[in-house]
Amino acid sequence: MIRPAAGADLPELALLWERYRAEANDVRWADAGQWQTWIMPRISAGDVRIGTVERTINAYAAWQRILDAQTGARNLEIRELYVHPDGRGQRLGSGLLARAIDAARQRECEAVELVSNVDDEGVRALVGPFGFEYSGGALRLQLQRR
């Protein structure tokens, strides 16, 4: 099941983040406190989705809308997307990615960019069917105007 994250999910989400950080060798955040300072406003804004299996959080995605300073384009940047090994193969990753793309369309973004762990083969296999392409250090999906 995919659902929006809530503040009460933070302890379980933090454990998942620690696993992600170790597996992806992600060193953007100095510690869990710094990460929580970033993630809590994302949760409040509805920019974090979690995937659960039997009531256990096994996956999450966190994004934010950004404005490209050079072009003025609105993009949705997926900062973190992770599926715990116990949740892989259950379509949690594709479900989270679909929710992020839907959020980008609702916010009239021009593109979706995944900026985390982009060199991982599993990540590329996940985003490939959605049409993401590698560009400038990110996996990018240009959205069609409706």
Domain coordinates in residue numbering, the chain: 2-142
d(CA 134, CA 32): 29
Is the pLDDT reported for residue 146 higher than 80?
A: no
| pLDDT tens-digit series, residues 17-50 | 999 888 887 777 778 888 899 999 999 999 999 9
d(CA 99, CA 46): 11
Q: State in words which class domain 2-142 has.
A: alpha beta
Q: DSSP class of residue 90?
A: T
